[in-house]
Structure 1
């Protein structure tokens, strides 16, 4: 209850160098990028960015362009063919965040999901509003 996805950006884009490296792509490769807020009770708790290469998406059957307000995680975790690689944790660069939530040293995690030739890189950045709720309701953590 109270969970929703608010798309911010979806489209073809030149992937960042770190994303290309994580997906084993040549630097400057083009891919589908999707940026959303994951909301709890209407409040943005997580900023998420998901990317996949154009070449891998064409003909694969995963239609990231049709997700709208549906959760990509729902697709990735329901399709048992996807294998999740290791989770990486770091401070997410402030300049990569939407202006409305830019803050220094926000923690984020990302992992790569593989299904055959398709790899999807998913990054989730935990916004201050999530930590505020966690502090206010430690019994739910």
Structure 2
């Protein structure tokens, strides 16, 4: 093997070792209050920059109603046989609730009626499925 190959191999191994050493402190760093404060500040800056640069632009390309796909594949079942689903469907989902929890500032639970009472907005966008197909639909 040439001397250059040994030098490259040493460089790669040294870089991998240095990276592994740096990563050992990542978990502790990610829990440090100072690091979390810095991340929060950076997130706010990123949000303001995005809103400044992309003001008035939709997040996804929008299409005309005439471009809506005639066939839109269902992902999974359109008639679930699950007993819990069947019980909810029997009474028009009156007992169903959307629970928002976890690492959120204001956890809450909303009924279907409460969701339907919220202001509505629709958009016509393309759904690109990881299975390899795409379709334009109104949401």
TM class by shorter-chain length? under 0.3
Q: Larger strand proportion, structure 1 or 2?
A: 1
Larger radius of gyration: 2
TM-score (norm: length of structure 2): 0.23
